[in-house]
Amino acid sequence: MLNSAHVTEPTRRALLERLDARHGREFFDEAEFGRLRALAVRLVPHDPAEMDLTGTVDHRLIVGIGDGWRYADALPDGEAYRELLASLPEGFETLDGDAQDAVIPAVQSSHSHTFEDLLAELTEAFMAHPLTQYRFGYAGFADAPEWPHVGPNELEPREVAYGPQ
């Protein structure tokens, strides 16, 4: 679908950028970045080799892009994320998944607003990634004029029906 005539060039360009995005580490130090990556995988299960959610967060902080709001008493995102990451136990990134999951609720309750913001940011990056959209069968990015109208519970001829018919 991405390379079809149903997708306009600006949308295709944006999705291909997301697909190929590998920002690396610019804002966080190496330890913070490793902790963030481990936490991100626990919060939004994904393969960091496929989707660079951690690099996406890091890059947003380095370029200073935000969603236009934050809680009045909140630190700037980068500082708040650093505090949250510092509250994780030393070696968090080397713990097995169950051990990581066991400490996350305490971090969540002690940094509730920051945790909520980070989870929302990771979820947004995950859902906006073309691989996620492909795996969910989402075609809402098909924005070219004359894209056929599909109503509730209707399928395009190219779509496969799942579940009971």
DSSP 3-state of 107: helix
pLDDT of residue 140: 83
Q: Running DSSP on this structure, what letter comes out for residue 134?
A: H
pLDDT digit string (tens) for 56-101?
999 999 999 888 888 888 999 999 999 999 999 999 999 999 999 9
**Residue 84, token pair as written in the block:** 């949250």
pLDDT of residue 165: 56
pLDDT over threshold 90, residue 47:
yes
DSSP 3-state of 111: coil
The whole model's pTM is what? 0.84
34: number of CA atoms within 13 Å, CB side?
10
Q: 59-78: b or e for each residue (b if 16 or more CB lie within 10 Å)?
A: bbbeeeeeeeeeeeeeeebb
Q: CA end-to-end span of the chain, whole Å?
A: 24
**Residue 37, token pair as written in the block:** 């990556």
